[in-house]
Structure 1
Amino acid sequence: MNILFVCTGNTCRSPMAAKILEKRAKDANLDIKVKSAGIAAVEGSEASENAKIIMRDFGSDEHKTMRVSEELLSWADLILTMTNQHKQILLIHAPQYANKIFSLKEYIVSKSESKEDITEEFNDYPDIVDPFGGDLEVYRQTAKEIDLAVQKMIEILKK
């Protein structure tokens, strides 16, 4: 399965999500290929310094930003955005992929068999908070939020 994470600049949330999913999928013996991109990314930049620190915890801080493209959208079996606004932008510009575009938390809620498994956070806060400009603790909180969602996603994909 090919999964694409999408955020704004592809310097914080989506690359952290990609590294977290790569690690969790490997640990769960799932064959998942992961990429990330940004709606407004400047091609070829590095992840933010704090994102790189987080990414190292999940295996590697190597990352070059990519802008969302037709090629990436076509490659992906599942496109997961960090916010509902990102999802809406993709739906406007690439409606042909509507059946595989979800916000990350929306995907978890919609695919979970047991709604009791879903924490209030998934229902009350539908977006992944953007840590850009924050200190390392803000990035750690965002990574924790993403990791919780990714672990739920792994449970869903294993079924």
Structure 2
Amino acid sequence: MRILFVCTGNTCRSPMAEGLMRMKVRQEGLVAEVRSAGVSAMTGGPISRHSAALLQEAGFEETISSFAIQSSDIAWADLVLTMTNGHKRTVIQRFPHAVDKTFTLKEYVEDNTENLEAIAERERLISELQMKQALSQAITEEERDRLYTLEDAIPDYDISDPFGGSLSDYQTTAAEIEACLAKLVRKLKESS
């Protein structure tokens, strides 16, 4: 299993997910490779000092640098896990062939079929509406209402963004990621 974590700048959330997951892979004896990238990242830059400090505190000794997401990353990955719905939409817009393997981290680890069906319907509707806009076609009130209804029915699957925040903000985000990664490990073990 090859897992790609994605956030905005690949300096805060996705590097934390990458480092923590790499540790879990080793600890649990899983067969998996883990990377991270950003939808608006500059390749080769350092990750945030708070993310680096939290990873070091957790026992992660490797160095992670930021990477801008490329088509080769998408081709490499069996699973693309984003930190927010916005990241997910960006990945799918740039790499439409990745739609079946791209999820938010929280959505992927939750086992709620009803939510997953609503998410799939929302993604289809958004794609249709974007196509209509590109073709200069009007979006009906009914289509807007359906999108709002779907948005209201789906839980918030975004991981909080600590960018520019205090160490405490980063600790909160790390705990949120850690809880999802524990579920991800269980899911990977069940499927192997």
Is the structural similarity TM-score above 0.5? yes
Identical counterparts, % of pairs: 39
The equivalent residue for 1:127 is 158
Is the alpha carbon distance of 1:89 and 1:63 closer, same or farther for their aligned partners in structure 2, counting shifts above 3 Å?
A: same
Structure with the higher fraction of residues in helix conformation: 2
The question of 1:90 aligning with 2:52 is answered no
Q: Which residue of 2 aligns with 1:145?
A: 176
* Contact kept? 1:16, 1:51, Cα under 8 Å: yes
Identify if the C-alpha distance between structure 1 residues 85 and 58 changes in structure 2 by more than 3 Å, giving closer, same or farther: farther
Report the TM-score when normalising by structure 2.
0.74
**In structure 2, do the counterparts of structure 1 residues 109 and 21 end up closer, same or farther at CA, with 3 Å as the change threshold?**
same
Structure 1: runs of 5+ lacking an equivalent: 113-122
Q: Name the amino acid aligned to 1:128.
A: I
Deviating runs (4+, > 2 A) in structure 1? none
Structure 1 residue 69: Cα displacement = 0.2
Compute the TM-score of the two structures, normalised by the length of structure 1.
Answer: 0.89
One-letter amino acid of the counterpart of residue 28, structure 1? E
Structure-2 residue corresponding to 1:119: none
| 1:80 aligned partner, one-letter code | L
In the alignment, which of 147, 151, 154 is matched to residue 185 of structure 2?
154
The CA RMSD over aligned residues, in Å, is: 1.5
Query: Is the Cα contact below 8 Å between 1:8 and 1:86 reproduced in 2?
Result: yes
Alpha-carbon contact 1:37-1:68 (below 8 Å) kept: yes
| SS across alignment from 2:66 | coil
Q: Size of the alignment, in residue pairs?
A: 149
CA-to-aligned-CA distance 1:96-128 (integer Å, 9 cap, x gap): 11110000001011489xxxxxxxxxx743100
Q: Which amino acid aligns with 2:102?
A: I
* 1:65 aligned residue: 66
